[in-house]
Amino acid sequence: MKKLAVVINFLFLVLGACQSPQARRPVKTSSGSFIEASVERNKKIYEDERSIFETWIENDSLNDYVTSESGFWYYYHAQDSVSTNQMPVLGDEVTFTYNIKDLDGNVIISEAENGVQSYLVDQSNQELISGIRDGVKLLKVGESATFLFPSYKAYGYYGIEKKLGTNVPITSKITLLSITQTQENKE
């Protein structure tokens, strides 16, 4: 009788072990309301910043602003309209200078602090804000422009510790010094 009980127990163990694992269910589920609220808050921030920039542009009669496809505005200090120079493309190495200012014109990070930057277009892990990465691609060698970046294209939620708060729009003057094509781009 003991042998029969051992065999039956063994069969139950074998059959029980052959089942596929059962997925664990979450103890608490979320409806996604936090994400929806965050999206609405960010849309409101962008609308407020866009309104500020539109007023800024209306009041600045000295410069001709261009609206970028990436959601920011800029005007040229020096523009090369006669040269056949190309704008940087994916993989090009560019050197440039830039500064960061708040909307009151206070320098947050100067060109001297940044120094000359070297960047592989759309391939580098360099810690540049997305606005700078996008702005560089709109310039030719020797051109200089001031960009008006909403906070999502600047330092966004994080800001710059002890220098720039969260969700603060900025301006940045970028001067493109050189473009070096990579081997893949030369062919």
Domain boundaries, the chain: 37-186
- Whether the per-residue pLDDT at 136 is higher than 70: the answer is yes
Q: What is the pLDDT of residue 102?
A: 94
| Helix, strand, or coil (residue 14) | helix
Give the residues across from 73 on adjacent strands. 67, 148
Interatomic CA distance for residues 97 and 115, integer angstroms:
7
Q: What is the pLDDT of residue 30?
A: 64
- The answer to whether residues 118 and 93 touch, using CB atoms and an 8 Å cutoff, is yes
Give the residues across from 67 on adjacent strands. 73
CATH architecture of residue range(s) 37-186: Roll (3.10)
- Whether the per-residue pLDDT at 141 is higher than 60: the answer is yes
C-alpha pair distances (Å), 40 with each of 47, 114, 158, 186: 11, 34, 18, 45
pTM: 0.78
71-110: pLDDT as tens digits: 999 999 988 776 667 889 888 999 999 999 999 999 999 9
Query: What percentage of the chain carries pLDDT values higher than 90?
Result: 58
**Residue keyed to tokens 């990436």:** 70
Token pair of 139, please? 């310039």
